[in-house]
Every structure is written in C-alpha cells, then in structure tokens.
Amino acid sequence: MLAGEINPVAGCRAIDNLLVNTYKAPNRKYAIFGQVCSAFGWYPYDENDRANWNPEVLPAKDREYREAIVEYEEEIGAACEFLIRKMDKE
C-alpha cells in the first residue's frame, strides 16, 4: 500500500484479518485498517466484486471512492509504517 501497488481497501482488509487472528488485544494504532474495511465495505475493489456490479455504475463508484479514500491515506500510511517497525523488532 505504501508504494501504491495495492488497493488500500484490499490491503486494509488483508492486514485487518491478519491482526484480528494474531493479536488478542486491539491496538489503537491499527484501528484504521478496520475503519477502512467498515467505511468501504460497499466498494467493489477487485475483479470478482466488479463483475457483479452494473458497469454503468462503476465509474461513479470509482470517483466516489477516490474522493473518500484521500481522507484515510495519511493514517493508513502511518499505521503501515508503525506495523513494519513493530514487525522488524519482533
């Protein structure tokens, strides 16, 4: 996600699932991953999801997503960097 190679929703879903299954106590620094999952649960980010949507609606949803995800990008980046530092220490 930091390099822009992974969709933020897909990355947050993967990290959130990993953290839920790895750590028993929630950490506020990781909360953004779950928040993004909740906020963008509707967004068809992968080809399987997109195949089930009306192709005429997708451009509007993509625009809506691009406008909304900007609010989360800085916090997602900070959480990713924190997680990387934490994993490097363990």
CA atoms within 13 A on the CB side of 25: 2
Section 6-21 average pLDDT: 90
Whole-angstrom Cα distance, residue 58 to residue 54?
Answer: 7
- For residue 54, being part of any structural domain is answered with yes
More confident residue, 25 or 81: 81
Residues 30-79 have pLDDT tens digits of 899 999 999 998 898 888 989 999 999 999 999 999 999 999 999 999 99
Residues 20-32 have pLDDT tens digits of 777 665 678 889 9
Q: Which pLDDT belongs to residue 41?
A: 86
Report how many domains make up the chain.
1
- For residue 63, being part of any structural domain is answered with yes
- For residue 3, being part of any structural domain is answered with no
Q: What is the extent of the structural domain holding 65? A: 8-89
- For residue 2, being part of any structural domain is answered with no
- Total-model pTM: 0.82
